[in-house]
Amino acid sequence: MADAVEIIKTDFVIVGAGSAGCTLAGRLSEDAGTSVTLLEAGGPDRNPWIHIPIGYGKTIVDPRLNWRYETEKGAEIANRPMYWARGKVLGGSSSINGLLYIRGQARDYDQWRQLGNAGWSYEDVLPYFRKAEDQENGADAYHGSGGPLRVSNLKERNPLCDAFIDSAVEAGIPRTEDFNGASQEGVGYYQITTRNARRCSAAVAYLKPAKRRPNLRIVTHALAERILFDGRRAVGVVFERAGRRTTVRARREVILSGGSINSPQLLLLSGVGTAGELSELGISPVHDLPGVGENLQDHYGAIITYKSRLPLTVNDIMRSPLRQVQAGLQYMLFRTGPLTISAAQVGAFARSGPHVETPDIQFLFQTFSHDEYDAGLHKFSGFANVVCPVRPESRGRLALRSADPKDTPLMQPNYLAAETDRRVLVEAMKLSRRVAEKAAIAAHIVAEYAPGPAVRTDDELLAYARETGLSIAHQVGTCKMGNDPMAVVDSALKVHGVDGLRVVDASIMPTLVSGNTNAPTIMIAEKAADMIRGKAA
């Protein structure tokens, strides 16, 4: 490969055009006198399945759009590796995810503040959620309108969803119209990030309006190899594109927005991490920062699957060429129908027991069923409820496998290592079963397909969850924000011990939020943009 010969000069270089990187690039380039270069390892977001909501089922496994990571085997999950879908395309995971708009709970952000991160309480971050949002239902104390990110109501309401909501209410879960308002608790329809029934990714929301600005340069198929340092100051990035190396020189800052895998990986490749481990790989340490790659957290879920009495499921549509054509026409002509649905249409946030102050369980109810991501939908009429603990206590780590930027890092999430996670997951499965016993949804159930009626005890449920559970794809925490010895960035998201370098993405979360991570990641980038521009309160 040729050495770096081309040099690009810019004020800011942002590595990674995902949920955070697109948001940052859009906001920073609003200042006409500021030049921004955005690097993305993947390509443009032209694939039509990105933009059709149900296309999630294809994008989540497509190697052209997806890093398709695999973790190390997990001792507590039947010695299985775990598949991790991560976006490798403009928009990052916001271009391939299940489209759900969930912020988490106020306590999540108040905890960040209690951990020493001034400016990150719920009161502090709420204005940035509102700033980003263009809420279909209009603005109020919790929601914004006119922001870049369209948040919409589902266009398709399946009778199974209404039945599930009614049964959950009968089982003691309150009904809610808004998971992102005064209280997250309850059961109801999810809102999703679509505009006119097309995906509103961070690329659509923030990059599309900005891409013609002369001060914004977007470089796709650009794999960042290392951060350049002058002493302890980050001054640029070397990237490889089509076999050619290029150097981007940053006059002001280098900003990592690669997400919870790629941001720590690039720090480590560049000599920022545990010095001894880096030296063993032949990497010259720039700064000994032991927290890089530590504190890895993710949501782990178990699936309870049912055979449906009536052909109301996506499985049925996909088995019928005629119904597929009908669904396609309905979408093209009216932007309605089954192609408008998200990964889960209905959900709940509930408590695992009366002693729990706020919900610690999430339900993701799906009007389809499958065994593995790559295996396709079941051949029978089926629907499922994915259940997961939302505040896991298990912690994993990420480390380099080698000094080669193209070598996938070692990822060990340590799912279910904490006893609390195992207990809450079992309680979530039991609560889901209690919901399924109630009349409204029970009328639609022929039988529980998995784990099946033979699995009854807590130990049997846990064994099933260990053997078949999956990642909900909410990896965070590997460049933790804080002021303790294992923190990687401070409350301004500046990397400890070096200058000119920030991390702005989900990796900075000290603790995982109680729900999906796309909306919080966009919020983080909105707040970071104001801090960088000197506008933060």
For residues 521 and 307, the answer to whether their CB atoms sit within 8 Å is: no
Angle among Cα 165, 168, 171 to the nearest 5 degrees reads 155
Task: Detail the residues annotated as belonging to a binding site.
Answer: 89
Q: Is 474 a catalytic residue?
A: yes
- Count other Cβ atoms within 10 Å, centred on residue 412: 18
Strand, coil or helix: what is 37? Answer: strand
- Cα 437 to Cα 352, 378, 431, 447, 448, distances in angstroms: 18, 23, 10, 11, 11
Task: Tell me the torsion sign for CA atoms 426, 428, 430, 433.
Answer: negative
- Which residues, at least 6 apart from 122, have a Cβ–Cβ distance to it below 8 Å? 106, 107, 108, 109, 110
SS (H, E, C) 6-30: EEEEEEEEEECCCHHHHHHHHHHCC
- First-last CA distance in the chain: 47
Q: What distance in Å separates the CA atoms of residue 295 and residue 298, rounded to the nearest whole number? A: 10
SS (H, E, C) 309-339: CCCCCHHHHHHCHHHHHHHHHHHHHHCCCHH
| Residue type, position 468, single letter | T
Task: Detail the residues annotated as belonging to a binding site for FAD.
Answer: 89
Task: List the catalytic residue out of 299, 378, 444, 474.
Answer: 474
Known catalytic residues are 474
